[in-house]
Chains A and B, each alone.
Chain A
Amino acid sequence: MKSWIAFWNILLKDMRNYYLKPPNISWGLVFPVAWTLMFFLKSQTPVNVRELLPGVISLSILFGTTSVLAVTLTFERRSRSFERLLLAPLDLNFLMLAKTSGAILFGMVNAFVPVLFASLMTSLSGLQWIPMLGAIFLIAVTSTLLGLFIAVSVKEVFEAQTFSNFFRFPMIFLCGLFIPVQTLPLFLRPLSYILPLTYGADILKFSINQNGHLALSLNFVVLLGFATVLFALSIRNVKRKWIY
């Protein structure tokens, strides 16, 4: 019970201090809006909007979560206010869950910006909402944890930005968002399958257009696996690097 009070207040604080601050809202929303406009306006027919939706949703989440978490964490480390959290009687796993939950929620909200745009341009009937929500959640979780992993590996805010771009841009091409994985050159395909976004995007394709190419259950299991491994790695790094 006591821990949950702390959890809730850390989440609220991050929301108020970062995610709901005007510069960050725009920072977070600029990406999904830009992606949406860029892809949707180019496409001619309503069918194309639906085709593009899984990729645009994935990108919105990826860019929203990774930058925001990496930047806020490095910022709090620099101002040393993060030490307050480490000094509180909160289990480290629990604390890091509290810190990431805000970014996960933020990523999920970002996901709905393109959905909203798409609904204005085409009919979204026949959408499989349950797997779609599951995928949005798990993409947000894995991307946030990727951001956490980056935050633990860098010292400065600008490094966090650079380092996350190093991951993000290749993922646009490798994860089957707009170019199907099956059409990639053979030597690149193994890379696709070690990136969590490939599996999340596949669920989205299934839920929106019934054209995923991997088994749904496999996708979910792999995403959960990625989440667990990334979280464990990040915690290990927090212990090694932040508790000196």
Chain B
Amino acid sequence: MNIVEVDRLTKKYGDLTAVDQVSFSVHEGEIFGFLGPNGAGKTTTINVLTGLARPTSGTAKVSRFDCAVEIKKAQQIMGIVPDESNLYEEFDGFENLCFCAALYGMKKNEREKKAKDLLEQFGLAEAGKKPFRAYSRGMKRKLTIAAGIIHDPRILFLDEPTTGIDVASARQIRQMIQNLNRSGTTIFLTTHYIEEAERLCDRIAFIVGGKIVRVGPLDELMREVQQENVLQLAFAEGISNLKSSLQQEFPDVVVEVSGNQAIRLRSSRPLNLTPLMRFFEERNLPVYEARIMRPSLEEVFVKITGIELERMKQEKEGKGKQ
């Protein structure tokens, strides 16, 4: 079932078209990634879906409610973590969480218990008594995420959750996203980190200049640039002398020796492993590792969007977001 359905959505700010005829859907229970450079229209799309912005044309639906008409119903099931940590500076962590829970109508004992649990879970139990303004950037981000899930939303919108966060905290946040997804929450994630999308997402949309250039399951997108199958085999001893006999035995496979103890086999068709293994077994050569080499999502992105990834990254890092 689709929990989000967006159909030819356009959002203009004056003359600027921030989102241009965008269509996609998010399946219930998946992690959906929205991947694109600065100014691509990621945040604008989230704003329309969550009710902070109105579409210029087209429709956006969450849980079958039209976001332009019945946004208040749709908001019941949404959790939203904005790109900036925007909790109340004067409140401490615990009070912030309790307040956010109250906005969704949770009762006092219920919200206090949940707030305590979440602080514990996010490693903020100590910091729970400090005012938000005294938090580090990573702590702010974690608390903002906790505030976004305190009412157990069915779908969580995360706008660049790991931008500007140190490696350890980012890893913790990704882990938490996965756990949350395993327990049934649909995740809508925007990011400009390709590795992050690759690690987390079931399906991905590439958005550039307000347009979705491609959307699909991760493996499908990968397959698109994967014109050939590459298999790498690792051995305990040198096998360079085997190259010619191997090539003779398997004429439609390109054999490359990579280092002394590994070979790469390239083929336009899927590789059949059984005869290969038999070949090595007959020669008494145990295969230690067999690995299918796949192109990275980065290659997919560059190929599909024609965008120089490095430039995009540099722009982003230079911006120094909160």
Are the CB atoms of B53 and A244 closer together than 8 Å? yes
A18 to chain B, nearest CB (A): 9
Could you tell me the distance between the alpha carbons of A8 and B87 in the complex, rounded to whole angstroms?
18
Which residues on A sit within 8 Å (CB–CB) of B13?
244
B249 to chain A, nearest CB (A): 63
State how many residues of chain B have any CB contact under 8 Å with chain A: 29
The A-B contact count (CB < 8 A) is: 68
Are the CB atoms of B52 and A6 closer together than 8 Å? no
Stretch at the interface among B76-84, B240-248, B312-320: B76-84
Which residues on A sit within 8 Å (CB–CB) of B84?
80
Are the CB atoms of A86 and B105 closer together than 8 Å? no
Which residues on B sit within 8 Å (CB–CB) of A86?
51-52
Which residues on A sit within 8 Å (CB–CB) of B91?
13, 17
Interface residues of B (CB under 8 A from A): 13, 47, 50-54, 72-73, 75-76, 78, 80, 82, 84, 86-91, 99-100, 102-107
Query: Provided the pairs A3-B105, A87-B52, A244-B52 are in contact, do residues A13 and B88 lie with their beta carbons within 8 angstroms?
Result: yes
Provide 10 A-B residue pairs closer than 8 Å at the C-beta atoms, listed in order of the A residue.
A1-B105, A5-B102, A5-B107, A9-B103, A17-B90, A80-B82, A83-B82, A84-B100, A89-B104, A243-B51
Are the CB atoms of B52 and A83 closer together than 8 Å? yes
Are the CB atoms of A87 and B50 closer together than 8 Å? yes
Find the A residue at minimum CB distance from B85. Answer: A80
Which residues on A sit within 8 Å (CB–CB) of B100?
84
Which residues on B sit within 8 Å (CB–CB) of A84?
86-87, 100, 103
B94 to chain A, nearest CB (A): 14
Are the CB atoms of B80 and A243 closer together than 8 Å? no
Query: Provided the pairs A89-B76, A90-B72, A243-B53 are in contact, do residues A79 and B103 lie with their beta carbons within 8 angstroms?
Result: no
Besides A13-B91, A17-B88, A84-B87, 19 other A-B contacts (C-beta < 8 A)? A3-B105, A5-B106, A6-B103, A6-B104, A10-B103, A13-B88, A80-B82, A80-B84, A84-B86, A87-B50, A87-B78, A89-B72, A89-B75, A89-B76, A90-B103, A243-B52, A244-B52, A244-B53, A244-B54
Could you tell me the distance between the alpha carbons of A16 and B89 in the complex, rounded to whole angstroms?
13
A197 to chain B, nearest CB (A): 32
A12 to chain B, nearest CB (A): 9
Find the A residue at minimum CB distance from B75. Answer: A89
- Tell me the residues in window 88-111 of chain A with beta carbons closer than 8 Å to chain B beta carbons: 88-91
List of 10 A-B pairs having minimum Cβ-Cβ separation, nearest first: A2-B105, A9-B102, A88-B103, A89-B75, A80-B86, A89-B76, A5-B105, A6-B103, A81-B86, A17-B90
Could you tell me the distance between the alpha carbons of A53 and B14 in the complex, rounded to whole angstroms?
51
Which residues on A sit within 8 Å (CB–CB) of B89?
79
Could you tell me the distance between the alpha carbons of A83 and B82 in the complex, rounded to whole angstroms?
9
Q: Which among B54, B73, B107 is the interface contact of A89 at CB below 8 angstroms?
A: B73
Which residues on B sit within 8 Å (CB–CB) of A5?
102, 105-107
